[in-house]
């Protein structure tokens, strides 16, 4: 009995500790929240204008980090700072989930690096 209670306690502790790791954004909610992003980055996340990054297929965590950095000023881009300023943490998770779920059309960096 004592062993079963110990095992149950350990399982509960692991579940509670891993909950933030399992939490994530909603792709469907992200698509709705990302509508203002589409003008520059495209509905499919594959911007055709080389001055705007392609977001499709990027790592979810990278997209979240970038949005947080625009929001708090660690990245200095006036347009993105304004766009990210009103986003909640959940908004950022959802938008990152949406763009990271999309297939990328970027197979090479040729023509996508300044100076190319």
| pLDDT number for residue 15 | 53
| pLDDT number for residue 113 | 62
Q: Is residue 67 within 8 Å of residue 73, measured between CB atoms? A: no
**Domains of the chain from N-terminus onward:** 25-101 (1.10.760.10)
| pLDDT number for residue 60 | 98
pLDDT tens track, the chain, 116 positions = 566 555 555 455 545 544 344 458 999 999 999 999 999 999 999 998 989 999 999 999 999 999 999 999 999 999 999 999 999 999 999 999 999 999 998 676 666 566 55
As a whole number of angstroms, the distance between CA 90 and CA 43 comes to: 20
| pLDDT number for residue 50 | 86
């Amino acid at each position: 009995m004592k062993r079963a209670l110990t095992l149950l306690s350990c399982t509960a502790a692991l579940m509670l500790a891993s909950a933030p790791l399992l939490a994530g954004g909603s792709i469907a909610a992200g698509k709705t929240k990302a509508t203002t992003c589409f003008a520059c980055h495209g509905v499919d996340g594959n911007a055709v204008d080389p001055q705007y990054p392609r977001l499709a297929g990027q790592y979810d965590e990278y997209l979240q980090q970038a949005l947080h950095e625009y929001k708090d000023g660690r990245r200095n881009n006036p347009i993105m700072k304004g766009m990210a300023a009103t986003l909640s943490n959940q908004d950022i998770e959802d938008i990152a989930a949406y763009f990271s779920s999309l297939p990328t059309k970027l197979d090479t960096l040729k023509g996508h690096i300044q100076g190319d």
